[in-house]
Amino acid sequence: MILWGPPGTGKTTLAQLLSIHAQANWISMSAVAAGVKDVRLAIERARMTPDEQTVVFLDEVHRFNKAQQDALLPHVENGTITLVGATTENPSFEVNSALLSRMRVFVLKALEDEQVKAIVKRAIEMEMPNLIVSKDALNAICSFADGDARRSLNLIEISAQLTDDDVLDLAHVREAAGHSLRRFDKGGEEFYNQISALHKSMRGSDPDAALYWLVRMLDGGCDPLYIARRLVRFAAEDIGTADNRSLTLALDAWDAYHRLGSPEGELCLAQAVLYMSAVPKSNAVYSAFGDAAKFVKESPSWPVPLRLRNAPTKLMKELDYGKNYRYAHSEDSAYAAGEHYFPDKVSAQRFYLPSNRGLEKRIRERLDQLRKLDEKRHSD
C-alpha cells in the first residue's frame, strides 16, 4: 500500500501500527538515503524468515528512481515482502505504473485543529503533566501547526522550554513559532494545486479569491518571479485582446518586482492579479493560435503567392515577385476588399473568433464590417 498525505498526518505511525497488529517483521528505509543495495539487503532479511511476514516501510517513496522502484517489483509480486510506501507527492506522477498497479493508495488528509489539539493535550499529559497551557496558547499551537501533528509537538516542546514557571501562554508560542509558513511544497503537487487555484480564480473573475491564493503562495515561499511569469501567460491565454492593457500590466508588474524586490514588489503583483481578475475575459487568442498551429501541422508547405512577395532585386521583379499586389493604404478605408492572403491553394480560414466582451466586441464589429466589404467585392 501507499500512504499519501501531507507531513505530520501519521503515515509512519500508521504503518508501524499495522505491522505490529499483523505481528510482522519491520524494516524501515528512507528513499532519500537508501539505494538498490539497501533494498537487496532488506529482501535477504525477509528470505531468512520465510514463515514470517516482513513489512518493508519506504518513507518518501517518490524519491526512488525507476531502477530502484523496479528492484522492488518482483519481491512485491511474489510476496517476499509487504511494501508500505509513504509519500507527500501524488503517486500517480511519482510511482512507476507497474509498481503502482500492485499497490493500494490510501489518502491521508491534513489534521483538523481539534485533532491536533487532542494530540497536543495527550502529549502534555504524558510528557509534561505539570505544564499549564492557556487556551489562547493551545489555539495558537493548532493554528501554527497547520494540520501537521509533528509540527505541533515540536512547537509545544520548544514553547515549554521558554517558560520559567510551567505556565505557557500565547507569547511563548509566538516566540517559539517565529515566522510560520503555510504548507507549500515548491515543485510538488501542492505547488501546482495552488497555482491552478490562482489561475482559475482569476479566470472566474473572483479578485478576492485570486488575491487569497496569491498571498497563500507568497506566504508559503513561492518565488514571486514565477508568479509574475504565470500572470503574463494568463494575460495572453485568458484575456487576450478583450483587454490589451492586461499584458502590459503583467509585464510592468514583473519589471516592478525586479526593481523593488520583496516585500514592496509583491504589491505590484497583487495589483496585476486584481485588475486581470476584474476585466472581461476571452480565450479567443489562445484558441486561434491552437487552431492555426493544428492547421499548419496538418497542411503541406504551400508557397507564398507571388503577389505577396517582396521584390528588392531586378531578377525578382522579372519573376513577377510582388506583381498585382494591392497596397491596402491606397484602397478605400485602407482595406483591399476581397484580397486573398492565404496560399493560393488554401481557402480562407477563420481562426480568430473574437468574443462579444471588452475590446474584442469592437474588434469583432470591425471584422464583420470588413467581411461584408469582401462579400460585396466578390458579388460585383
Percentage of the chain lying above the pLDDT 70 cut: 97
Task: Inform me whether the pLDDT recorded for 187 exceeds 80.
Answer: no
DSSP 222-235: --HHHHHHHHHHHI
- C-alpha cell read off for 251: 509585464
pLDDT in tens, 78-118: 889 999 999 988 888 778 888 888 889 999 998 998 999 99
pLDDT band at 184 (very low <50, low <70, confident <90, very high): low
Residue 339's pLDDT is what?
Answer: 93
Task: Inform me whether the pLDDT recorded for 185 exceeds 60.
Answer: no
pLDDT band at 228 (very low <50, low <70, confident <90, very high): very high
Task: Inform me whether the pLDDT recorded for 225 exceeds 90.
Answer: yes
pLDDT in tens, 5-33: 888 899 999 999 999 999 999 999 998 88
The whole-angstrom distance between residue 277's C-alpha and the CA centroid of its chain comes to: 18
Q: Tell me which residue of 17, 19, 13 sits closest to 81, measured CA to CA.
A: 19
Residue 179's pLDDT is what?
Answer: 57
Residue 259's pLDDT is what?
Answer: 93
Question: What's the whole-number average pLDDT of the chain?
Answer: 90
Long-range contacts, 164-168 (Cβ 8 Å, 24+): 166/130, 166/131, 166/132, 167/132, 167/134, 168/131, 168/132, 168/133, 168/134, 168/137
Between CA 111 and CA 76 the distance in angstroms is 31
pLDDT in tens, 336-366: 999 999 999 999 999 999 999 999 999 999 9
A 10 A CB-CB count for 29 gives 19
Question: Which residue shows C-alpha cell 491596402?
Answer: 328
Task: Inform me whether the pLDDT recorded for 231 exceeds 90.
Answer: yes
The whole-angstrom distance between residue 168's C-alpha and the CA centroid of its chain comes to: 39
Task: Inform me whether the pLDDT recorded for 216 exceeds 60.
Answer: yes
pLDDT band at 64 (very low <50, low <70, confident <90, very high): confident
CA contacts within 13 A on the Cβ side of 213: 21
Dmax of the chain from CA atoms?
101
CA contacts within 13 A on the Cβ side of 143: 12
pLDDT band at 182 (very low <50, low <70, confident <90, very high): low
CA angle 122, 5, 90 (to 5 degrees): 175
pLDDT in tens, 313-337: 999 999 999 999 999 999 988 999 9
pLDDT band at 188 (very low <50, low <70, confident <90, very high): low
Mean pLDDT across 198-222: 93
SS3 at position 40:
helix
Residue 370's pLDDT is what?
Answer: 93
pLDDT band at 146 (very low <50, low <70, confident <90, very high): confident
39 vs 252, more confident: 252
